[in-house]
Amino acid sequence: MSFQNNIFFKKVRDYSVSKEIFELHHNPEYDLLITFPKPSPEKLPRYYDSEDYISHTDGKRSLFERIYHLIKNIALKNKVKLINAQSQKGKILDIGAGTGDFLVVAKKDGWQIIGIEPSTKAKAIAQNKGINFADKLSDLETYSFDIITMWHVLEHVTNLDEYISELKRLLKPNGTIFIAVPNFKSFDATYYGRFWAGFDVPRHIWHFSKTAIDRLFAEKEMKLIGVLPMKFDSFYVSLLSEKYKTGKMNYIKAFFVGLKSNQSGNQTKEYSSHIYIIKNHQKAI
């Protein structure tokens, strides 16, 4: 895949860490936004260096963090139910496992589990919960996983083509990938514009549409078989977007924007975030 003939879309600030300005460029072939300039692998870790990066902590210091973890616990159980509906119990690889909560729930449900997590801080928390990790994808055996999950992770990877190829290699011939990513075509993305927290530059390098996910995985002989809404995300993202726009958490305003986004999604099928279910149909050689 090559991303050429990109068109300037808008400028967006990194509100959570560096306060630097980045550009978003639109690729019309894939209907994909790309963060520009893309930080080098050497510089990228510093953009995650924040106590407020909530997926790397189990902290419950504020009302916002307490709400986040309450909703997360509900979502974790729903994710395991979703996976059980697509596959008999086998082996799961969770990429970007964070503090390991999803794998804890999956393990209790009878799945064999392993995680990948670049943050040493988050990994240490997960290991204390009994989670095992591989250091990198290349250490894992070909055709070894029934399920691969990436919950808000694919938007972070630096080399998209290479990464999707690795997912293809690791997945069993009839395995399934579950990918959750923000949707820049949602109502809340349009409403908040440059303040939309789902852009989260430069940590989010890629910004996906349904077309982008469908085409990117089809090029690797994998098929998109389902798209599901993540309705809680509209409220969470709206809260952060209100903070970026006004400097404070406007809980009531964010609730109504999130509600309107979900109502709009019921009509347009463009929600704040989507879960994509992708099937591998290629036979093992």
DSSP string, 160-209: HHHHHHHHHHHEEEEEEEEEEEE-TTSHHHHHHGGG-TTT-TTT--EE--
- For the cut 70, the answer to whether the pLDDT of residue 276 exceeds it is yes
Instruction: Return the beta strands (E) in 58-106 as ranges.
Output: 91-95
Predicted model pTM: 0.92
Cα–Cα distance, 265 to 7 (Å, whole number): 26
Beta bridge partners of 127: none
Tens-place pLDDT, residues 223-269 = 999 999 999 999 999 999 999 999 998 999 999 999 999 999 999 99
pLDDT confidence band for 62 (50 / 70 / 90): low
- For the cut 50, the answer to whether the pLDDT of residue 150 exceeds it is yes
* Those residues with Cβ within 8 angstroms of residue 54's Cβ, 6 or more apart along the chain or in another chain: 65, 68
- For the cut 70, the answer to whether the pLDDT of residue 51 exceeds it is no
**Averaged pLDDT of the chain:** 92
Q: How many Cβ atoms sit within 10 Å of the Cβ of residue 7? A: 8
Q: Would you say 155 and 181 are in contact if contact means Cβ atoms under 8 Å apart?
A: yes
Across the beta sheet with 145-151, the strand order is 112-116, 91-95, 145-151, 171-182, 273-280, 222-229
Q: What is the mean pLDDT of residues 170-179?
A: 96
Q: Which helix (H) or strand (E) holds 266?
A: helix 251-268
Extract the tokens encoding 108: 């209790």
- For the cut 70, the answer to whether the pLDDT of residue 57 exceeds it is no
